[in-house]
Structure 1
Amino acid sequence: MSAMTTQTNRCTQLWKQENCSTPLQINSCCSSSCCLRLKDSMETSSQEQQASKPAETKHFVGIQFHSAGEIVVCSAKEFEFKQGEQVLIQSQQGKKLGTVIKASYDKAPQQEEIPQILHVATKEDIAHDRALKEKALEYLAVCEQKVKERKLPMKLTLAEIVENGRKAMFTFFAEDRVDFRALVKDLATSLRLRIEMKQIGARDEAKYKGCLGACGQVSTCCSTFLRSFKSISIGMAKNQGLSPNPAKLTGMCGRLKCCLAYENEQYKENRKGLFKISSVVSTPKGSGTIFNIDILKRTYSVRLDEGGEDIFSANDCSKLEGAKQIARERVMSQRQSEEKKKGELQRERQEKFEKRIEEKKRKISSKPSAPRNNQKQGPKRNNRQKPHAKTPAPPKENKS
């Protein structure tokens, strides 16, 4: 027993002299079995020490800086915050005010740098943030004046003061790339701040400014609840059976409406198994051609071969294939030939009728017309003779 303890003491002395810290280093300094026992005892003691330490509780909260903006996950340590509460955050751009959107996250976010929540925003913090926003509006007016002077093709949207008042960030919209280097130099000399210009698209511009929705809502979806934009294609409109009319499919931003993506997955699911328009199907009332589809109700509007139109359920219709399709094509070709003959006969009758009308017009125009008397006629005289007035009798002479 004494020999074992002396060997252990010798190993510990060697371990201290060699500054061994890992199992490989401990095993290299001595090949005896007591060194392995010493390693195990050190590992168990370190595990007990770690277990005895109080665990640090980490709490993460979702924050937004703008209305319907991107949610940024921040560290709240052991503090708890309520949804809708304003907090002060320490980020790369300095201290900023944010609003709590999600009170807690189950898992840690996969971000390189996690902003830290300092405390709940006080009245002084809110007043300071309001003053910065008012100052940013003044800077925005100055920038707009500079843009007009330089005649740059850009529309300013937003101005922010970040990094504790040492930097001004301007957000603008432009269709193409804009060379704003001279503008940045001019703004830096006039405002005495660091300047950053950020270009955004048409959708982001509508999101920041806000406008009436085409459907009659007070504000558009992007400025109310949409956090990010999805890619919208004209194929989504085709899946839902909408006519490709640009006036109805484009939003206030001039791009395809974001709401086309809301029901796209449901329409794609309901569209499975349905025939395409102009497909030939067999119905309870005979064969016909599909000219319209109701995707949600899963019904077809069919133009029947026998004449007329009707609506049938998708379960009651089957696609004509093989011999049935060939027989139908023969019948339809015979009908088309008969209709063609009827059309030709009707056309001939119409041509004959038009020829008769033209001949009558020619006969009427070939007749000689009565000569017209172009001399001016005097006023008409009344042929009735007026009664002659009685002549007075001569006076009688007196014989006396």
Structure 2
Amino acid sequence: MYVVVGIRFKKAGKIYYFDPGDLPIEKGDFAIVETARGIEYGQVVVGKKEVTENDVVLPLKKVIRIADENDKLQVEANKDAAKQAFGICQEKIANHGLEMKLVDVEYTFDRNKVIFYFTADGRVDFRELVKDLASVFRTRIELRQIGVRDEAKLLGGIGPCGRILCCSSWLGDFDPVSIRMAKDQHLSLNPAKISGLCGRLMCCLKFESDVYEEKADQVV
């Protein structure tokens, strides 16, 4: 068994497990941890608990320390820098004539890398753009192409139900959604009625799918 804490780096983001060591860390605290992307700042959303080896990815990385006020100020400064980087990148994309839409920009906590999220209909040769951006920001550059569902998660919005999108407010992972789920729930198959802002089938079709399947099995 392993003692872990669950940390989330973005609102409605995926939860990752870390080894808290002897730190007096509790749910709700903010922490500094080492990730594959570098040093990051996240919130503890799952307090200390024991899990089996099958529930974690080994080797477990340790929580470096509990975050303090200076770390919070660093995060806010990174967000401001990311807004400026967004405008600069948009200009560079236009200068290079690339068919891509910039969605979001994010700095890692330690400013070791700046990540540009974009959507595009196909593959984009952005090698010259990366060189251009690297000469401006003097740090590691990553351009990450995302899908329309990820775009909706990053940008947020209001769904047809009148509530904030599930993907941007609480849904950590995207589950597969099929047209069969709409059929089983006797919903209209009009794409305009069963599609979300992203243009894909609404994630909420999955929420009640198991209940409908269970009822169908009982009838049989």
TM-score of the superposed pair, with normalisation by structure 1: 0.52
1:210 CA drift (Å): 0.6
1:162 is displaced (CA, Å) by: 2.7
What letter is aligned with 1:228?
D
Deviation per residue, 1:285-318 (Å, 9 max, x gap):
xxxxxxxxxxxxxxxxxxxxxxxxxxxxxxxxxx
Give 3-state SS (helix, strand or coil) of 1:115's partner.
coil
Structure number with bigger Rg: 1
Aligned counterpart in structure 2 of residue 251 of structure 1, from 179, 193, 196: 196
CA contact (8 A) 1:62 1:71 kept: yes
Greater share of residues in helix: 1
Choose which of 66, 69, 83 in structure 1 pairs with 2:13: 69
Percent of matched pairs sharing the same residue = 38
Which residue is equivalent to 1:220? 165
Q: 1:271/1:105 Cα in 2 relative to 1: closer, same or farther (>3 Å)?
A: same
CA displacement at 1:70 relative to structure 2: 0.8
Separation in structure 2 between the aligned mates of residue 132 and residue 180 of structure 1, nearest angstrom: 24
Partners of 2:214 and 2:183 in 1: how far apart? 14
Letter in 2 for 1:232: V
Aligned residues of 1:58 and 1:76 also touching (Cα < 8 A): no
Partners in 2 of 1:203 and 1:271 — Cα distance?
30
1:202 match: 148
Pick from 28, 41, 44 the counterpart of residue 97 of structure 1: 41
1:84 maps to 28
Give the whole-Å Cα distance in 1 for the aligned partners of 2:211 and 2:204: 13
Unaligned runs of 5+ in 1: 1-56, 276-400
Richer in strand (by share): 2
Aligned to 1:231: 176
**Partner letter of residue 29 of structure 2?**
E
Q: Which has the higher contact order (CA 8 A, sep 6+)?
A: 2
Equivalent in the alignment of 2:62: 116
Which residue identity is paired with 2:13? G
Partner of 1:126: 72
Residues 58 and 232 (structure 1 numbering): CA distance in 2 closer, same or farther, change over 3 Å? Answer: closer
1:154-303 alignment, distance < 5 Å: 154-162=100-108, 164-217=110-163, 219-272=164-217
For 2:140 and 2:22, locate their aligned partners in 1 and report how far apart those are by CA, in whole Å.
Answer: 36
Contact 2:2 2:50 in 1 (8 A): no
Question: Distance in 2 between the 1:115 and 1:95 partners?
Answer: 11
**Contact (CA 8 Å) 1:157, 1:171: kept in 2 or not?**
yes
Measured after TM superposition, the shift of residue 146 of structure 1 is: 0.8
TM-score by length of 2: 0.91
1:161 Cα deviation from its structure 2 partner: 2.0
1:151 equivalenced with 2:97 (yes/no): yes
CA contact (8 A) 2:105 2:116 kept: yes
Q: Please, what is the CA RMSD of the aligned residues? A: 1.9
Aligned partners of 2:126, 2:2: CA distance in 1, in Å?
44
Range moving further from structure 2, 87-96 or 143-152: 87-96
> Structure 2: 5+ residue runs without aligned partners?
none
Aligned mates of 1:260, 1:224 — CA distance in 2? 17
Matched residues, number? 218
Q: Distance in 2 between matches of 1:212 and 1:98?
A: 26
